[in-house]
């Protein structure tokens, strides 16, 4: 949840820098929120030119970070920290400017609370899911699954898996083994783009994902898997356990565990998970 912040139910991509101790926000997302422009990139390009003509050095101070675009791919995009963003907001005539400033302050305060007390982060995640209409049963399963996931990634970190691409590769091995689909193909089935797949899983999909990741960690611990190759082997074995359980359940119910349903509010014809 930390990579996406919601302002009036609209997504603002964000990144917390542990070294600098500050948030960075996607400028394009902020402009889209404040202006409702259907061409936020052009709006930002024009605004940068305007600021430069006025003698502002702000555009020269703006950096870039890779963030997930709407098509699910990570691309470099202009980002600003809170002081920079406040300067940009001053140059955008919008009735939402003041509420957005208050939102920025709230986001910063909440992050400080979360660092001091990690439980705050979990509580906020629960609140966000409740606002999005998730049931308490679903939320509990989502949080339990996240705890299982965290224990697995902690094992990987401690045993020779260090690169983000390696984490993604191992995750995909587990997922493809138990579902028969790659993570991307599963997202495509659900009609997702930049959204988090797990946030749109059914209760059964969450349970089987957790089973696959729990099995993977316990197998890796038993076999003392080290590095990418050995952990990939454990991942395949762990995914197979969940696969066998899925097949057994489907044979009894006649229903597929893997579903194309999602929680997307649009398009209207999408069926919301119950």
Whether 27 and 69 map to the same domain: the answer is yes
**Structural domain contains residue 50:** yes
pLDDT for residue 261: 92
Task: For residue 128, tell me if it sits in a domain.
Answer: no
Between CA 265 and CA 134 the distance in angstroms is: 12
Instruction: Please check whether residue 196 lies inside any domain of the structure.
Output: yes
Each residue of 22-50: pLDDT tens digit?
A: 788 899 998 988 887 788 899 999 988 88
Q: Domain range for residue 238?
A: 135-253
Are residues 45 and 119 both part of a single domain? yes
Residues 27 and 103 placed together within one structural domain of the fold:
yes
- Whether residues 102 and 147 fall in one domain: no
What confidence score (pLDDT) does residue 118 get?
Answer: 46
Q: Are 1 and 124 in contact (CB under 8 A)?
A: yes
Higher-scoring residue by pLDDT: 60, 179: 179
Give dist(CA 26, CA 76) in Å, integer: 10
* Per-residue model confidence as pLDDT tens digits over 72-103: 678 899 998 888 888 888 888 888 888 887 77
In this structure, is residue 264 part of a structural domain? Answer: no
Determine the pLDDT at residue 7: 67
My answer on whether 181 and 141 are in the same domain is yes
C-alpha span between 261 and 274 (Å, rounded): 10
265 domain residue, yes or no: no
Whole-prediction pTM? 0.59
Q: Which residue has the tokens 């989502």?
A: 142
* CA–CA gap between residue 10 and residue 202 (Å, rounded): 23
Which secondary-structure segment (H or E) carries 104?
Answer: helix 97-116
pLDDT at residue number 115: 45
Domain membership of residue 96 (yes or no) is yes
Single out the residue in 123, 149, 180 at which a domain terminates: 123
Q: Does the residue 143 lie in any domain?
A: yes
Tell me, yes or no, whether 74 and 164 share the same domain.
no
Q: Is residue 130 part of a domain?
A: no
Do residues 102 and 143 both lie within one domain? no
Q: Do residues 31 and 110 share a domain?
A: yes
Q: Does 202 lie in the same domain as 113?
A: no
**239 and 144 in one domain?**
yes
Q: Taking residues 237-243, what's their average pLDDT?
A: 97
- The average pLDDT across 134-160 equals 92
Beta strands 10-17; 74-80: pairing state = unpaired
107 and 205 co-located in one domain: no
| 36 and 8 housed in the same domain | yes
In a 13 Å sphere around the CA of 144, the CA atoms on its Cβ side amount to 16
The number of distinct structural domains making up the chain is 2
């Amino acid at each position: 949840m930390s990579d996406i912040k919601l302002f009036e139910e609209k997504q603002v991509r964000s990144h917390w820098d542990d070294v600098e101790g500050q948030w960075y926000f996607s400028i394009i997302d902020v402009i889209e929120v404040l202006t409702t422009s259907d061409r936020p990139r052009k709006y930002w390009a024009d605004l940068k030119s305007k600021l430069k003509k006025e003698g502002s050095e702000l555009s020269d101070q703006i950096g870039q970070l890779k963030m997930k675009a709407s098509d699910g791919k990570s691309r470099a995009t202009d980002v600003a920290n809170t002081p920079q963003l406040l300067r940009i907001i001053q140059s955008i005539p919008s009735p939402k400017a003041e509420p957005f400033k208050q939102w920025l302050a709230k986001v910063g305060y909440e992050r400080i609370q979360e660092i001091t007390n990690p439980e705050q982060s979990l509580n906020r995640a629960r609140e966000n899911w409740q606002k999005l209409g998730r049931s308490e049963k679903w939320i509990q399963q989502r949080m339990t699954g996240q705890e299982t996931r965290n224990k697995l990634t902690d094992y990987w970190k401690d045993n020779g898996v260090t690169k983000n691409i390696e984490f993604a590769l191992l995750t995909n091995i587990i997922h493809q083994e138990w579902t028969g689909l790659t993570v991307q193909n599963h997202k495509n089935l659900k009609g997702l783009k930049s959204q988090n797949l797990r946030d749109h899983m059914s209760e059964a999909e969450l349970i089987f994902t957790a089973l696959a990741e729990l099995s993977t960690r316990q197998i890796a611990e038993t076999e003392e898997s080290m590095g990418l190759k050995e952990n990939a082997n454990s991942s395949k074995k762990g995914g197979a356990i969940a696969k066998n359980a899925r097949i057994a359940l489907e044979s009894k119910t006649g229903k597929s565990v893997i579903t194309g349903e999602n929680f997307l509010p649009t398009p209207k014809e999408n069926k919301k998970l119950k």
